[in-house]
Structure 1
Amino acid sequence: MISTIRIRLSLACVLMVATLSASEVNYAEDPFALEQGKHVKTLADRPWADRSPEELQQWARENLHRKLIARKVIDANEHPEWEWFRKSGLGIFLHWGLPSANPDTGDAWAIQWNAAKARSGRYMEPATKMFAVAETWNPDKYDPNKWMAAASKAGFGYAVLTARHHDGYALWPSQYGSWHTGEYMGGRDLIKDYVEACRKNRIKVGFYYSGPSWHFAHEQKSFGEAGSGAYYNHKMEKVIGRPTVTAAMAAAEKQEAQGQVRELMQNYGPIDVMWWDGSVAMKDEELATMQPTVLVARGNIATPEGEHQGASENVKVANECGWWWEECRKSENSFTPNWHYGIECERNHWDTNTLLAELIRCRSLGGNLLVNVPPRGNGEMMDWFYDVCDEMAGWMKHSREAIYDIDLDAPLPTLDKTQNYTTVRGRIWYAMPNEENTVFIHELDRPTSVTLLRTGVAMDYEYRDGSLRLVVPKIMQTDLPDMVKIVFAEEP
């Protein structure tokens, strides 16, 4: 009797274990269900959900960084002259000037004392040392045509050069002030060469311009961090009391800036982008009298900087608000203070896959990528830039349609219907596989075709309950983003 009971209990245990194991195996063997679980998002995770654009704009003003806020919603139909900007989606940011000639720091901000920099032991350069670079700086290998030829081939649509950065040194011979190439470089016009190179290579022309100038009346200015209560002079000597900048000095500085901006707008033909930093030297209305089609980027569109400000959830909000946006990003893998060239830029830099993946991310969320690639002080571009451009050119031959001239107005599927970065062109979607080479999208119609964009080869996929899942086979994978093209039937 006891033996019979034991046998029955043992059989029951075996059956129970077998049942549990079968359940576990079935669940593990259903990656579709697992993917569905991953893609569930609560309303708290999606602040853009269930809000009108106007309500979301107010939420953004209260919760996001000011650089994620645009001044207005731009009606594309009212501004066909800016259609190129959203179509192209990829710009090259060229921080170049006096700081570029000091490769040990490469940091234009090294000129300013900062409490965090002081605590970390980071180098802070006396303004006198950076200003002295102008005495000898005359880039003998400056060849912007070579830069732009490579950039154009790689798919860059526009460029933005620091015509004047915060150090205040103008890269052209100006009639305003005494801190420009006319005084220190025998009248050499670096801007002219840049503009001509852009036009020759079908790159839209953009100028960055810093309203404030550290050089103007520098002996009366503080080079300490604003609001810190610590004051340093231009020799990086700590001083007692705030240095005095009179109203007349401030007015003269603004007058110089406005005069220089007029030169940039009047002396070089059509200009496509104006990119302010520090402060705005001239109102849009006055710029338009000289350059009727110029796009004033910062302020009118959202311009988040770096990985934190440009996080996907943040720029998704900007897009759902109806704002145009452009992420400004340094092409580096780990943080440095460099926007201008520094020796670290030679080895700490993006590869082609990283740049393309970031571009696809930005495009899938309705924005542009303005990636900073700083030239060396002598005017050369770093060697790796040309290697990346060559690889990008190859990718653009087969996959450019996934990022160029696509739909950018909300709603877009990324972060709502899929965690894959997915761009849209009408009834065609382009999805970038994740790190597991998987694409999963829910709440979509059954597609008419699913192919690998690079080759046009049809792909196996599973479609269930309004969701699609596929894995790019290893034999189809490359080292660059392998976009999946998903085509839907035309709506009746």
Structure 2
Amino acid sequence: MSKEHLVLLSFLIGAGLPASAEKHTPSQSADGSAESYTNIATGENVTPRIEERDGKRFYHWPMWNKWKNGKLHVETERTKHPDAQWWPEAGLGLFLCWGLPSVFEPNGEGWSGRWSQAREDKGTFYPQTELWESVEGWNPTDYDPEKWMSAAARAGFKYSVLTMKHHGGFAIWDSDYALIGVRQTMDGRDLVEPWVQACRDNDIKVGLYYSGMDWYFERDYMNFSYDPSVLVNYKGEKVKSLPKRPPSFSKAYEEFNENQVKELIEKFDPDIWWGDGGHGASIHKIREWRPGIVVNNRGYDSGDHATAEGFGMSDPQYIRKPVLENGWWWEVNSIIQRGSWHYDKHLGETVYPTDEVLMRLAEARCMGGNLLANIGPRPDGKMQDQAYRLFDEMEEWMKTNKDSVFGINGGGPWPDDCNVPITCRDNIWFFHAKEKQATKENPIVFEGAGKPVAVTLMRTGDALPFEYSDGKLEMHLPEALKAGPVTDVIIVEFDNDFDYKPYLFTHW
């Protein structure tokens, strides 16, 4: 087998979910929750070990397999191509998980066909065949990607990533090579082309998510159990043995993936290749087919940027040390709706409050990273009403506050010396506060500040009172000036004696 295929098989065997994962939130619990960083039995923080290689430090969490640990690692030098250098300044991306799992009504979870005893006991295991059968007759009659992307553009999103196929193998573009997809079930209706056009029309960079794993392709040989001591076939049956992969399998799998990757790049000319479970082809070939592309790090030969999964993994203690000190680009990808990455009919109508999303954006930008916020549209092609609520409120916020997250060149010392995230443009600093922060009872406090020249509310331009003494700056907003459902931003201009240079980004 090829090295990349061995990596994928290792991932398949080791990518289990914690027993405490909630019924409708398995993926988020697996990587993004506090349980990933805390010993549940003792309540103590889990301390990763540190490995040093070639002058760089790599963190390894003992409860994760190699694949999960690799999400925060960049093993190769990033692209220097001029067409790719837009990426770290883009700041905000929209992740759209849409496809086979969206149609699976029990929970919208693409991993539902993977057996564990806990899932069987809870009744949340479904044979993989049921997921594949669920897509028969799928017809998204209300699909309007122009409505999606025009709203996203007004809300400030600069790039977007859409799932071409998840691990189950269902392709949402009209592929010459896919074994299951829109060609087999929708008479070849291509769901990707109109979305790409909508992105281009709204000046949004195009990113293609592609699963290097294809469970349909290897269904006859693959163990659909998390427990390697229990063999479960794709029909959900426990068996004593599975057929062995023939000698020709690895080569056929490699060619199958490469054909699809090349097909997608030639059809849609993407700006971003977002592999998951492998890129499907080597980065060398991907760059040969599309030289200026940005590639994430989830393949055997790594990529251009780290991909923290969930807000737990993007905590400053994990980003500032292993990521920033190594000079890596990075991005946090996380769900901003209830349920799983794809649409969950039981929970997926609820989208996070706008203040929460904007603060997560500010936190990522404070550390020089991007936020790739995930919303899984409904299977009929409509975006949730609450998604448009989010977009509308973000649009209003961006009218007066966008310069606090775009066009910046540094980030302040949050959370060590300040209780809110800070972004910077030289000596102009932007302090971001939630609804219950920057109040008289809970003021913004910055230890180690220079003397302010001016303090203003970014939304209105109103001058604000502040207290400054011996390097300690305190600020709050009068109740009448609080924004309510969106994040408040306070601009502080420091005098020329304040040394802002240590806070400028060095990894861009």
Interval containing the TM-score (normalised by the shorter chain)? 0.7 to 0.9
Aligned match for 1:484, one of 483, 490, 505: 490
1:357 paired residue number: 359
1:453-472 alpha-carbon deviations (Å, 9 max, x no partner): 11111111111111211122
2: distance between equivalents of 1:445 and 1:207? Answer: 44
1:316 and 2:320 correspond: yes
The 1:415/1:243 distance shift into structure 2, 3 A limit, reads: farther
SS of 2:208's partner is: strand
Equivalent position SS for 2:177: coil
2:168 alignment partner in structure 1: 167
Alignment correspondent of 1:187: 188
With over 3 angstroms needed to count, the CA separation of the structure-2 counterparts of 1:369 and 1:216, relative to structure 1, is: same
Which of 474, 479, 482 is the aligned partner of 2:479?
474
* Aligned residue in 1 for 2:83: 81
Is 1:272–2:276 an aligned residue pair?
no
Q: Is the CA contact 1:211–1:254 (under 8 Å) kept in the aligned structure 2?
A: no
Moved more, 97-106 or 376-385: 97-106
Cα-to-partner distance string for 1:223-258 (whole Å, 9 max, x where unaligned): 111x53211111111111344223322321221111
Report the residue type matching 1:209 in the other structure: Y
Structure 1 pair 461–180 and aligned structure 2 pair: CA distance change class (3 A): same
Instruction: Using the TM superposition, give the Cα deviation of residue 295 of structure 1 relative to its aligned residue in structure 2, in angstroms.
Output: 0.1
Relative to the length of structure 1, the TM-score reads 0.82
Q: In structure 1, what is the equivalent of residue 146 of structure 2? A: 145
- The answer for the alignment partner of 1:286 in structure 2 is 285
SS at match of 1:100: helix
- Note the C-alpha offset of 1:422: 0.5
1:135 alignment partner AA: E
Please tell me whether the aligned partners of residues 152 and 203 of structure 1 are also in contact (alpha carbons under 8 angstroms).
yes
Q: How does 1:21-170 map to 2 (within 5 A)?
A: 57-58=56-57, 60=59, 65-72=69-76, 74=78, 78-119=80-121, 121-170=122-171
**2 CA distance for matches of 1:350 and 1:122?**
28
Q: Whole-Å Cα distance in 1 between the matches of residues 372 and 116 of structure 2?
A: 27
Q: Which whole-Å deviations, capped at 9, do the CAs of 1:111-135 have from their partners, x for residues lacking one?
A: 111344345x151221111112343
State percent identity of aligned pairs. Answer: 33
Q: Which residue of 2 aligns with 1:400?
A: 402
Residues 61 and 69 of structure 1 are in contact (CA less than 8 Å); yes or no, is this contact kept in structure 2? no
* Structure 1: segments with no counterpart, 5+ residues: 1-44
Q: Which residue of 2 aligns with 1:455?
A: 460
Distance between the aligned counterparts of 1:354 and 1:216, measured in 2? Answer: 40
Residue aligning to 1:340: 342
CA-to-aligned-CA distance 1:83-127 (integer Å, 9 cap, x gap)? 3222221111111111111233100110111344345x1512211
Contact 1:433–1:472 under 8 Å retained in 2: no
Q: 1:241 and 1:308, CA in 2 relative to 1: closer, same or farther beyond 3 A?
A: farther
Whole-Å separation in 1 of the counterparts to 2:388 and 2:401: 20
Matches of 1:356 and 1:254, distance apart in 2: 41
Contact 1:102–1:377 at 8 Å: present in 2 too?
no
User: Are 2:254 and 2:281, in contact at CA under 8 Å, matched by a contact in 1?
Assistant: no
* SS of residue matched to 1:113: coil
Deviation, structure 1 residue 387:
1.0
- In the alignment, structure 1 residue 431 sits paired with structure 2 residue 435: no
| Mapped pair 1:206 → 2:207 | yes
Structure 2: where are the runs of 5+ without partners? 1-44, 500-508
**SS of structure 1 residue aligned to 2:307:** coil
* RMSD value, Cα: 2.4
Take 1:347 and 1:439, find their aligned partners in 2: how far apart are those partners?
34
Aligned partner of residue 68 in structure 1, secondary structure: coil
Provide closer, same or farther for how the CA distance between residues 122 and 293 of structure 1 changes in structure 2, counting only shifts above 3 A.
Answer: farther
Question: Hey, what's the Cα distance between the residues in 2 that align with 1:427 and 1:416?
Answer: 19
SS at 2:433's partner residue? coil
Q: Do the aligned residues in 2 keep the contact of 1:432 with 1:439 (CA within 8 Å)?
A: no
Are the equivalent residues in 2 in contact too, given 1:100–1:106 (CA < 8 A)?
A: yes
Displacement after TM superposition at 1:175 (Å): 1.6
Shift of 1:158: 0.6
Amino acid at match of 2:246: T
1:71 offset after TM fit, Å?
2.2
Change (3 A) 1:284 1:55: closer
Pairing of 1:223-234 with structure 2 (within 5 A): 223-225=224-226, 228-234=228-234
Instruction: Flag the structure with higher strand content.
Output: 2
Structure of greater Rg: 1
More moved, 186-195 vs 216-225 = 216-225
* Cα deviation code 1:139-177 (max 9, x no counterpart): 111111111011000001111011011011111121214
- SS class of match (2:94): strand
> Which of 296, 307, 314 is residue 311 of structure 2 equivalent to?
307
Evaluate the alpha carbon distance shift between residue 424 and residue 74 of structure 1 in structure 2; reply closer, same or farther with a 3 A threshold.
farther
Q: 1:286 to 1:59 in 2, by over 3 A?
A: closer
Conserved? CA contact 2:273–2:295, under 8 Å = yes
Please tell me whether residue 422 in structure 1 is matched to residue 422 in structure 2.
Answer: yes
Residue 255 of structure 1 aligns with which residue? 255
Richer in helix (by share): 1
Change (3 A) 1:292 1:59: closer
- 2:399 corresponds to which letter in structure 1? K
* Structure 1 residues 364 and 122: alpha-carbon distance in aligned structure 2, compared to 1, 3 A threshold: farther
Q: The residue matched to 1:430 in structure 2 has which SS?
A: strand
- Equivalences, count: 433
Measured after TM superposition, the shift of residue 62 of structure 1 is: 7.3
CA distance in 2 between counterparts of 1:250 and 1:477 reads: 59
